[in-house]
A and B are shown apart, each in its own frame.
Chain A
């Protein structure tokens, strides 16, 4: 991932000049084939960030940092960061807590593996809007979920599961679970089963094998799943409005940015909030994915790794 890929390839048995000529042609071809894609990312992804960054400092009054000062100085605006954390972190941790044992169990073939993976992918396509819309009825006071709880005599009064923080956490958990599950499954099924067998032969029990062998090998996958899921849920928007309490405890940072842009038409302030949101996300990605490198990174897939 750091640009050294080109150096690792050896020109095999070619003479240096032929190799150089071929590499030159390959470079040209790469430019032609990759050019449009890279250009599009630069124009439609990188440039808007630069544009928004400039816009956030472009203020009429109050100095260059006025937009940022307004955001961090206003308790209601500042609270959106904490509000978002309190949704993203629980949703991500719940998903990991469920997905780790589940994928661990599925490291060897289970009956109906394809069906199960297919099933878990469904929420991914439904999208948060539909999940939130369906939740309003299903988890509502007279919805099936509360009816079932009453029938089983778990609760007397219906639980309040929508229009509050719980509702948003549920919707995020359902929507993000497939991503966490699939990332972890990809990692777990890539671990060489012989490592576990070796531990077993040396007398390690099931729990010991998990704790000493498999879990350390799963750490990179867990870190990746955590980072991607946290970042995705940190940008929660539609479900915070639909099944949350957008004026109160689920007024998330994305909503603050949207309101600045589309209700107050203050694009400088909106850009500033978007930049704050992006910075937090990048920070989490860098810390978690960077910290991942400190764990074991050798071969876990067997062969001539």
Chain B
């Protein structure tokens, strides 16, 4: 007994000290941090820079580019559109996605695998691929070029995403709780609203927040369906960069900082509820 556990003990002891492979791991993480951190900080510093010509740091600092960005890019309207789109998309996705996830997690029926595959398709196929025919269709029916088109298009990847996150969450809830509620005479609807939903709230929150981040960050579908007055933040950011030269880089970076603050704060909130490995471990099947 002591002999069989010996080699494992030795590896564990080695792993807790820093082995060469651990050094490599942490070196890479450091490299990655400095890359992402460098990109982050450059944008952040530049947005507060009065001017920045080629040195390590800006020459002097000011907040004037934020004021400039608010006026030049119509920032309040863009932010309002972004929030309306994101919140509507998330609300509709939860409404459609949570019951679907419940059915996939708890019920047994024919063709379940096929339904799951169909729901996975909009996540696996990149948005620009289906976005072009989708936008063409929406324009044909007069639904694109405005807010409703942006919301409809963004719904396509959002609600399957909610399903994919919610299924494992519901699966891990003990089915005996529902069975006892059922034995005590609760109806299916009552079980769903009184037993299951309260227990699934962390999952619903996580799915909602992650869908929110993804919708705020969704460039392609919004880009293809938005009109001039229904651009979200990420699309205005793209147009601003695209037409760079007309506008100072610092003002574009100010907009990027606002976008960054928005997405990361929602993400950090979401990560409190969910382990990121869970997000993708479902897709692999």
Chain B residues lying within 8 Å of A101, measured Cβ to Cβ, are 21, 24
Q: Are B284 and A221 in contact (CB under 8 A)?
A: yes
Query: How does the 8 Å CB contact mask read for B260-275 relative to A, with 1 for contact and 0 for none?
Result: 1001101100010001
From A128, which residue of chain B is reached at the shortest CB distance?
A: B219
Q: Are A231 and B237 in contact (CB under 8 A)?
A: no
Query: Which A residues between 222 and 240 are near B, CB-CB below 8 angstroms?
Result: 224, 228, 231-232, 234-235, 237-238
Chain A residues lying within 8 Å of B56, measured Cβ to Cβ, are 144, 147
Q: State the CA gap A147–B156 with chains docked (Å).
A: 43
Q: Are B267 and A125 in contact (CB under 8 A)?
A: yes
Chain A residues lying within 8 Å of B280, measured Cβ to Cβ, are 179, 182-183, 186
Please tell me if B283 contacts chain A, counting CB pairs below 8 Å: yes
Q: Are B276 and A118 in contact (CB under 8 A)?
A: yes
- Cross-chain contact of B163 among A37, A55, A108 (Cβ < 8 A): A37
Q: State the CA gap A200–B103 with chains docked (Å).
A: 44
From A29, which residue of chain B is reached at the shortest CB distance?
A: B107
Q: State the CA gap A49–B156 with chains docked (Å).
A: 13
Q: Are B252 and A133 in contact (CB under 8 A)?
A: yes
The residue in A27, A136, A179, A200 that gathers the most chain B C-beta atoms within 10 A of its C-beta is A136
Question: Assuming the A-B contacts A36-B96, A142-B54, are A52 and B39 also in contact, with contact meaning beta carbons closer than 8 angstroms in the complex?
Answer: no
Interface size class of B (residues with CB under 8 A): 35 or more
Please tell me if B124 contacts chain A, counting CB pairs below 8 Å: yes
Question: Assuming the A-B contacts A37-B97, A133-B252, A135-B39, are A189 and B277 also in contact, with contact meaning beta carbons closer than 8 angstroms in the complex?
Answer: yes
Please tell me if B43 contacts chain A, counting CB pairs below 8 Å: yes
Question: Assuming the A-B contacts A129-B219, A183-B280, A235-B126, are A134 and B40 also in contact, with contact meaning beta carbons closer than 8 angstroms in the complex?
Answer: yes
Please tell me if B179 contacts chain A, counting CB pairs below 8 Å: no
Q: State the CA gap A112–B248 with chains docked (Å).
A: 40
Chain B residues lying within 8 Å of A258, measured Cβ to Cβ, are 128, 132, 224
Chain A: how many interface residues by the 8 Å CB criterion?
Answer: 103
Please tell me if A91 contacts chain B, counting CB pairs below 8 Å: no
Q: State the CA gap A58–B166 with chains docked (Å).
A: 41
The residue in A55, A182, A241 that gathers the most chain B C-beta atoms within 10 A of its C-beta is A182
Q: State the CA gap A269–B196 with chains docked (Å).
A: 49
Question: Assuming the A-B contacts A52-B136, A186-B284, A201-B7, are A145 and B38 also in contact, with contact meaning beta carbons closer than 8 angstroms in the complex?
Answer: yes
The main secondary structure of chain B at its interface with chain A is helix
Please tell me if B102 contacts chain A, counting CB pairs below 8 Å: yes
The interface stretch among B65-73, B76-84, B115-123, B197-205 is B115-123
From B44, which residue of chain A is reached at the shortest CB distance?
A: A134
Q: Are B136 and A271 in contact (CB under 8 A)?
A: yes
Question: Assuming the A-B contacts A118-B271, A182-B276, are A228 and B124 also in contact, with contact meaning beta carbons closer than 8 angstroms in the complex?
Answer: yes
Chain B residues lying within 8 Å of A62, measured Cβ to Cβ, are none
Q: Are B263 and A274 in contact (CB under 8 A)?
A: no
Q: State the CA gap A237–B46 with chains docked (Å).
A: 25
Q: State the CA gap A121–B242 with chains docked (Å).
A: 27
Chain B residues lying within 8 Å of A128, measured Cβ to Cβ, are 219
From B29, which residue of chain A is reached at the shortest CB distance?
A: A116
Q: Are B156 and A127 in contact (CB under 8 A)?
A: no
Chain B residues lying within 8 Å of A219, measured Cβ to Cβ, are none
Q: State the CA gap A174–B37 with chains docked (Å).
A: 12
Please tell me if A302 contacts chain B, counting CB pairs below 8 Å: no
Chain B residues lying within 8 Å of A185, measured Cβ to Cβ, are 277
Question: Assuming the A-B contacts A126-B260, A133-B241, A134-B40, are A44 and B134 also in contact, with contact meaning beta carbons closer than 8 angstroms in the complex?
Answer: yes
Query: How does the 8 Å CB contact mask read for A17-30 relative to B, with 1 for contact and 0 for none?
Result: 00000010011011
A147 to chain B, nearest CB (A): 6
Please tell me if B86 contacts chain A, counting CB pairs below 8 Å: no
- Cross-chain contact of B277 among A145, A182, A271 (Cβ < 8 A): A182
Query: How does the 8 Å CB contact mask read for B24-58 relative to A, with 1 for contact and 0 for none?
Result: 11001100110110111011001000000010100
Q: Are B115 and A38 in contact (CB under 8 A)?
A: yes
Chain A residues lying within 8 Å of B266, measured Cβ to Cβ, are 125
Q: What are 21 residue pairs bridging A and B, where the CB atoms are less than 8 Å apart in the complex?
A: A1-B113, A3-B112, A5-B108, A9-B108, A26-B107, A27-B110, A38-B100, A44-B134, A47-B137, A49-B133, A51-B137, A52-B136, A110-B22, A122-B267, A136-B249, A183-B281, A201-B7, A232-B126, A238-B223, A254-B128, A278-B129
Please name the 3 residue pairs, one residue from A and one from B, whose CB atoms are nearest each other, closest first: A52-B133, A235-B126, A134-B39
